[in-house]
Amino acid sequence: MSKAILILGGSGNTGEKIARLLLDITDVRIILGARNKEKLRKTAENLKEPERVTLTLADASDPHSLSAAFSGMDMVLSAASTAEFTENVASACIKAGCDYLDVQYSNTKVSILKSMTADIEKSGQCFISEAGFHPGLPAALVRYADTQMDILESAITAGAISANWDDATITESTKREFVRELGNYKMEFLKNGDWKKPGFWSMRDFPAIDFGNPVGKKMCVPMFFEELRNLPQMIPSLKHTGFYIAGFGWFADYVVMPLVLLMMKWFPKTMEKPMGNLFVWAWKLSSKPPYYTMLKLEANGEIQGEKTSFYMTLNHEDGYWFTAIPVVACLLQYLDGSIQKQGLHWMGQLVEPIRLIEDMEKMGILVSYEAHEETRNNTVIVK
């Protein structure tokens, strides 16, 4: 019998696209879960093969509703903006005996899951956290770079997003989660083998990264993900790494962001809703084509004693697809059993990176490779 995957947040932007891809390229049965039945019904109506899709009401804030919904599932895929309820969702998975995967960008979620490591291990279930574009791909790309060199010394990853926010419906819970998580934002990066925070006056810690067409060069700020933490242990030659993110535009970055951070510090509860709305309004204001979601890898190291550089760019015009595609590429490895391991794992450290990139390319991610100008003689042949 094919596996049953419950997508919590199945009526959301990310959840719906994951469902579409899973129906297209796997034989799993899909159960869409969320609080609003009408939205779930509308989502299911637009999916292919309705006989493989069922609906269930599930509220992450209510452990009883989760227990009832998760019973009989093989995996719960948490694509809902419910990071604050991570303990409920993870505990209900352990109780129901199903595996778990999540996509939220949330340091709160990471802390909760880390505090549950022993229980997760004991349950024998496979927990995959931090799946998607970012988090999700930075560590996978660094590990990909390691397969291309004899000695990997430096692997910097960076993201740039220009989304058509006018066409996107962002739910109240997602806006609130976003501004709440801004307060937990970590800026660490690995420099000369040590984790560092940027110096306030040091512009070198805020590099201008060249994404190529259509983005060009953009100043970026460090953004830490848990998946990066163990990379120096996994790749002992690695001395420099990190993920950097380009801004949303001067108004959102320099006017709205400081105001939101201040308000969330002073009035965290009462300001969640207005600050979430303000941020989305600022995004909509700056939303103009070309639309892209780009990920850049800049890696340096050695092949057969020669200094080598390896650059790689991944692109999709829609950020939600660029979140769903790596999740499903990861699930292909989970479904064939190759990464279904008990315990708590970060997607970027768990997946086999070469197959991941190949599968993402088949699902519509544009991948390009280049050699660095100064080391043209050492071009890495990857295809």
Ligand X SMILES: NC(=O)c1ccc[n+]([C@@H]2O[C@H](COP(=O)([O-])OP(=O)(O)OC[C@H]3O[C@@H](n4cnc5c(N)ncnc54)[C@H](OP(=O)(O)O)[C@@H]3O)[C@@H](O)[C@H]2O)c1
Within 17-56, the residues that bind ligand X by CB under 6 A are: 34-36, 39
Among 21, 31, 135, 271, the residue binding ligand X under the rule CB under 6 A is 135
Number of chain positions touching ligand X (CB under 6 A)? 33
Cα separation, 335 vs 340, in Å, equals 8
What separation in angstroms does the CA of 322 have from each of 121, 295, 316, 319, 364?
A: 30, 10, 6, 5, 9
Site for ligand X in 162-201 (CB under 6 A): 170-171, 173-174, 177
Q: Kindly state whether residue 59 participates in binding ligand X, applying the rule CB under 6 A.
A: yes
Greatest Cα-to-Cα distance within the chain, rounded to the nearest angstrom = 62
Contact call for residue 132 and ligand X (CB under 6 A): yes
Task: Specify the residue, 309 or 315, whose C-beta has the smaller distance to ligand X.
Answer: 315
User: Which three-class secondary structure state does DSSP give residue 244?
Assistant: strand
Nearer to ligand X, 149 or 330 (CB): 330
Nearer to ligand X, 132 or 353 (CB): 132
Contacts of 1 (CB under 8 A, 6+ apart): none
177 or 188: whose CB is closer to ligand X?
Answer: 177
Closer residue to ligand X, CB minimum distance, 13 or 300: 13
Residue among 5, 9, 123, 155 that touches ligand X (CB under 6 A): 9
CB of 19 to ligand X, least distance (A): 11
Relative orientation angle of helices 13-25 and 37-45, to the nearest 10 degrees: 40
What SS3 string covers 122-164?
A: HHCCEEEECCCCCCCHHHHHHHHHHHCCCEEEEEEEEEEEECC
Nearest to 18 by CA among 141, 102, 88: 102
Cis ω for the linkage preceding 63 (within 30 of 0):
no
**Residue 8 within binding range of ligand X, rule CB under 6 A:** yes
207 binds ligand X (CB under 6 A): no
Q: Measured from the CB of residue 307, what is the shortest distance to ligand X in angstroms? A: 33
Regarding 76 and contact with ligand X (CB under 6 A), the answer is no
Token representation of residue 165: 């926010």
| Spatial separation of the C-alpha atoms in residues 252 and 258, rounded to whole Å | 9
Q: Are strands 151-162 and 189-191 parallel, antiparallel or unpaired?
A: unpaired
- Cα-Cα end-to-end distance for the chain: 37
Q: Residue 89 CB, nearest distance to ligand X (Å)?
A: 9
Task: Rule CB under 6 A: choose which of 70, 100, 127, 133 binds ligand X.
Answer: 133
Q: How far is the CB of 374 from ligand X (least distance, A)?
A: 32
323 binds ligand X (CB under 6 A): yes
Among 19, 47, 81, 335, binds ligand X (CB under 6 A): 81
Binding residues for ligand X, rule: CB under 6 A, are: 8-9, 11-15, 34-36, 39, 58-61, 79-82, 103-105, 132-136, 170-171, 173-174, 177, 323
